[in-house]
Amino acid sequence: MYVRIPSTSTAVTPYGGKLKYLTYLNAMLQTAYFTVALLNDIIGTDEPMPANKPFIRQMKDAIFSALAFPLSMFVGITFWGIYAVDRELILPKAIDAYFPLWLNHVMHSNIVVFVLIELVSTFRMYPKRKVGLSILSLFMLGYAIWIHTIYFKTGSWVYPVLSVINWPVRVVFYIFSLGFAWSLYSVGETLNTAVWSKEVESTVRSGKKKAK
C-alpha cells in the first residue's frame, strides 16, 4: 500500500518524502524488528538462558528494548494526545482525502497493540539502562536534527504544532519529548521485568555466576 499526497497540497512539504515523519520511520523500524525476530526464530533461540546467546538474539533484544517499544508507545500516545487537543496541529483535516481514518489507526493505534502483544508473548533481556537510553537518545537527537534540516531547507515544519510555538517553547517541547521517551523506556523495562520476572532473575543470576 502506498499513500501519495499531491505535491500541490499546501498541507505538507514534499521535501524529505515519507522519511520526514516519525510515524513512517517507526513503521520501518517495526518491520526491521519483526524481520530480525523471525530470523531469530529460524536461526537463533528464544530460550531465556542459552549457553551462548546468538548475535541475532542480542540484536533482537536490543532493538525491541531501546527503540521498538519506546518509539511505538511515543508515536501512539503523542499523536493521539495532540490529535485530541487540536488535530490541525498534528494531522490537518486536508490530508483526510489521502490518509483515511482506518489507515490512521493502522499507523498510530495498531503499533501500540502489537508491541504490547510482543512484550508479553516473547522474553527478552533488556540491556544495561545506560546503553538502552543512549541508543534511544541518539535516535531522538538524529530525528530532531533531521526535522530541523527540513525546516531550514524549506521554511516549513514537518508537524504544524512546531509552527505555532516559539523557539524557547520548542526547546522545552524537545526536552519534554526526550524525557517522555525515556520514561516509556522505563515502562517497557518495568513491564518486561513484571511479566518475565522468573526469566529475568534467572538470567541475572546466571550472569553473576559467569562473572565470578
Convert the pLDDT of each residue in 67-77 to its tens digit: 999 999 999 99
pLDDT, average across residues 22-42: 96
pLDDT greater than 80 at residue 12: no
So where are the chain's domains?
17-211
**Grid coordinates belonging to 160:** 504544524
Name residue, grid cell 486536508.
94
Q: Please state, in angstroms and rounded to a whole number, the distance separating the CA atoms of residues 9 and 95.
A: 9
| Alpha carbon distance 108, 96 (integer Å) | 15
The b/e string for 195-208 (b: 16+ C-beta within 10 A; e otherwise) is ebeebbeebeeeee
Contact partners, residue 23, CB within 8 Å, separation at least 6: 75, 79, 107, 108
pLDDT on residue 96? 83
Q: Lowest mean pLDDT: which of 10-19, 81-90, 113-122?
A: 10-19
State yes or no: pLDDT of 117 exceeds 50.
yes
Q: Within a 10 A sphere around the Cβ of 137, how many other Cβ atoms? A: 15
CA–CA separation, 192 and 116 (whole Å): 10
**pTM of the predicted structure, to 2 decimals:** 0.88
pLDDT at 99: 83
11 — pLDDT class (breaks 50, 70, 90)? low
pLDDT exceeds 80 at position 208: no
Who's near 131: CB < 8 A, 6+ residues apart?
A: 62, 66
pLDDT at 90: 92
Which tens digit of pLDDT belongs to each residue from 77-96?
Answer: 999 999 999 999 998 898 88
Dihedral sign (CA 83, 65, 111, 109): negative
